[in-house]
Structure 1
Amino acid sequence: MEFKISKDLIQQLEQLIQNRDDRQLEVLLNDLHHADIAEILDELDFDEATYIFKVLDSEKTAEILLELEDDLRENILSRLSPKEIAEELDELETNDAADIIAELSKDRKVEVISELQDAEHAKDIVDLLRYKEDTAGGIMHKELVKVNENWNVLTCVKEMRVQAENISKVHSIYVVDDEDRLKGRLSLKDLLTTSTKTPISEVYIRKLNSVKVDTEDVEVARIMQKYDLEAIPVTDELGRLVGRITIDDILDVIKDEADKDYQLAAGITQDVEANDSILELTKARLPWLLIGMVIEIIASFVLKSNESAFQKYSTLIIFVPLLSATAGNIGVQASAIVVQGLANGTLKKFSRSYFSKEIAVAMISGTIISLLLLGYHSFMYQQYQVGLAISISIIVVILFAATLGTLVPLFLHKNKIDPAIATGPFVSTTNDVFGIILYFWIAQMILGF
């Protein structure tokens, strides 16, 4: 059953904190999952959250630290000594510990690392800090199980028992040579069903997916999704095994990328959250609003230059909002499908067959909409020539919007720009201007004003 925070629980915790009843706090919280405790701490004020954090043992609080909201984690870390922070990090796997250290100031990083008890653990953390956070090296674990290709099965089993003591989950057993270069992986089934004297070189699987330390995290996610992998090994420039990436790390990457694309689609130019400052939120939202304002001003000049047409054919102006909305919707729909295809790998570059399909969809949709519009206009206003001009304009504008919505994200992707930009205000506002220009150009050709 999913855990739910109740008002009574919060009041009970606040009372126990006020009474400094540490023992009862431990009894109340120790059986809860660390993610649930993190959720509780987010409901308390900083002082209360910090008090509970210090009451619980580091084995529990280390995992809680990873689940906290950024501002609360930053506040708690600021109230802990370097030694206390180091005690938390000693309980974490290397990539999680490196993520937390990366949030500290330069001086605090040095102090905390110097307090780490396990020298090998400290070395691995420092090694991870040198990689960019959006690369395979930045999200990998250093903890893994590896065996030498020259060993026999019995030696492998003995070594694996030692290595596995410090690993929470063993997804794969990797095989390396004397230079630590990745050679393949070992099947647990083969290990259990093979004679203990059999050399590993005779049974390990040589075909293996792997990534380099500088591979982008989104590319790692794509590879793991394509091949349905729970973990993938990471190698350095010389092909040496340096770490592994697990599915839970990739889920975080996918979530972050989805959040980023959603914000770009909404016209937000940088990664922000609801609890960011007013200034940060404004800086993220304002650029596209200003760009949209400029484009819409251009659209207003187009409308102004056709004032005489409005006086003669008044219904032309009535359908401008409908035309803008329809073109915007068609463009966003087309670009959304392309961006989705680029993200999941089903569409890698311009495809004539796909483009033709998108144009066909736009043509069918435009024809249905234009016929309905022609019938409506003819019934309501009995201006058949004007209705024809509006209907033909709608088809042309829809085809233009579909073309723009399909080609723009492909162009951005080719030039290493996030194509998610194309699903937001860019396509909508661009379609507004060009749609209105096409609308009046076609109307002028048919009506002769």
Structure 2
Amino acid sequence: MQFQLTNDFIEKIEGLISQKDGNALRELLHEYHFADIAELLEELNSDEATYLVKLLETDITSEALMELDDDVREKILDRLSPKEIANELEEMDTDDAADIIAELDDHIQKEVIQKIKDQEHAADIVELLTYDEDTAGALMAKELVQVKETWTVAGCVREMRRQAENVTRVHSIYVTDKEGKLKGRLSLKDLLTASEKTKISEIYIPKVDYVTVHTENEDVARIMQKYDLEAIPVVDENGILVGRITIDDILDFIKDEAEKDYQMAAGISQDVEADDSLWKLTKARLPWLMIGMLGGLGAASIISGFDSIFLSHPNLLLFVPLIQATAGNVGVQSSAIVVQGLANDTIKGHIIRRLLKESVLALINGICIAIVVLVISHFIFGTTYSESISICIALISVIIMAALIGTFVPILLDRNGIDPAVATGPFITTSNDVFGILTYFLIAKLILGF
């Protein structure tokens, strides 16, 4: 039966915590999955959550800590001693432990690392902290199963049993030479069906996909997606096998990137949560709102430059919101498709071909919308034929222009090393509002001659 966190259950846990009834809490929670424990911890206050973390077995709480929201985990870690944090890290894979260590202050990091009993585990964590944040080296885990090509099947099985004790999930068996250079991978079927005296060099598969410690996380994600991999080995500059990246790590990375891109598309310049402070939320939102304000003032100044239209063709002013909304929507649609394509590495070919395709698509959409606007503007709003025609021509022109801007800007940003997600949302909307209004009045002036 799926776990459901109810108010009654939370109140029961809070009551037992207030009574310091540790035995009852252990008995009540011992069969729950660590993800359920994490869900519970997020509903408790920091002191209550910390009490549970200290009370329960570290093999459960270490996993639960990794499931928590960053802010919740930070508050709990602040209430744990370096020794208690070290105990939690000893139960974690090295990549998760490194993530936890990275969240701590420098002086606390040193204390925690010194308290870790397993020196090899501590050294692996320290190594992971030396890699750049957005690279495979920082994302990988050191735990893996590797065998030497010179071993026999019997010796390989014995060594695998020993190594597997420290690996949570065995996705692949990697084969290396005497120096530790990655040579290939080993099929479990081939291992089980081969003679005990058979050399691994005779049965391993030499073809294996891998990345280096300096490969960017986005490239790692593309490779694993393209080849449908559950795990991928990581090598250093000399081809030495140093770790592996599993699919759960990549899913976490993709989720974080998607959340960041979604916020950027909505005009939020920092990674924030709904529960963050007012100051942090203001800093994240205000810059883009200021850009939107400047765009609005720019559009207002353009309109003021065509003040003669107010007297001669007042009906044209009724369609200013239509022009702005359509330009913004088309630009966001085009940029969203391009940004998604860039993220998935599906944008191929020359940029001119992409712009030409978007122009044709925009022309088709523009004509369809213009026909509807032509009828409605003339028969419902009472515009003259010349006014309706100028509105429709301007609308088609604005749609094409917005599509080109929405396509070109993300590609340009991507080629200059800037996250193209910044091109969606307020940036595209504001720029298309300004250019759309300018185009609208220039075309109207050309046709109507005011």
TM-score by length of 2: 0.97
Mean Cα deviation higher: 394-403 or 190-199: 190-199
**Residue 308 of structure 2 aligns to a residue in which SS?**
helix
AA partner of residue 279 (structure 1): W
2:94–2:121: 8 Å Cα contact kept in structure 1? Answer: yes
Q: Distance in 2 between matches of 1:44 and 1:415?
A: 46
1:435 equivalent in structure 2: 436
Q: CA deviation at 1:15?
A: 1.4
Deviations 1:47-79 (A, max 9, x none): 211112211111211111112222322222222
**Residue 302 of structure 2 aligns to a residue in which SS?**
helix
Q: Distance in 2 between matches of 1:59 and 1:152?
A: 35
2:315–2:383: 8 Å Cα contact kept in structure 1? Answer: no
**Residue 20 of structure 2 aligns to a residue in which SS?**
coil
Q: CA deviation at 1:349?
A: 5.8
TM-score by length of 1: 0.98
**Residue 319 of structure 1 aligns to a residue in which SS?**
helix
1:87–1:116: 8 Å Cα contact kept in structure 2? Answer: yes
AA partner of residue 98 (structure 1): A
**Residue 215 of structure 1 aligns to a residue in which SS?**
coil
Identity %: 59
**Residue 233 of structure 1 aligns to a residue in which SS?**
strand
2:341 equivalent in structure 1: 341
For 1:212-231, list aligned pairs within 5 A.
212-231=212-231
1:51 equivalent in structure 2: 51
2:139–2:249: 8 Å Cα contact kept in structure 1? Answer: yes
Q: Distance in 1 between matches of 2:20 and 2:296?
A: 61
Q: Distance in 1 between matches of 2:103 and 2:379?
A: 66
For 1:124-143, list aligned pairs within 5 A.
124-143=124-143
2:196 equivalent in structure 1: 196
1:349–1:410: 8 Å Cα contact kept in structure 2? Answer: no
2:99 equivalent in structure 1: 99
Q: Distance in 2 between matches of 1:262 and 1:412?
A: 17
1:342–1:348: 8 Å Cα contact kept in structure 2? Answer: no
For 1:138-177, list aligned pairs within 5 A.
138-177=138-177
AA partner of residue 264 (structure 2): L
For 1:2-401, list aligned pairs within 5 A.
2-348=2-348, 350-380=350-380, 381-401=382-402
Deviations 1:376-423 (A, max 9, x none): 122131511111100100000100001111111111111111111111
Structure 2: gaps spanning 5 or more residues: none
1:177–1:183: 8 Å Cα contact kept in structure 2? Answer: yes
Deviations 1:110-138 (A, max 9, x none): 11111111111111111111112221111
AA partner of residue 127 (structure 1): E
**Residue 307 of structure 1 aligns to a residue in which SS?**
coil
Distance of aligned partners of 1:413 and 1:225 in 2 relative to their CA distance in 1, 3 Å threshold: same
1:350–1:410: 8 Å Cα contact kept in structure 2? Answer: no
**Residue 273 of structure 2 aligns to a residue in which SS?**
coil
Structure 1: gaps spanning 5 or more residues: none
2:410 equivalent in structure 1: 409
AA partner of residue 111 (structure 2): E
RMSD between superposed Cα atoms in Å:
1.2
Deviations 1:200-248 (A, max 9, x none): 1122111111111111111111110111000000011111100000000
Q: CA deviation at 1:353?
A: 3.8
Q: Distance in 1 between matches of 2:415 and 2:350?
A: 9
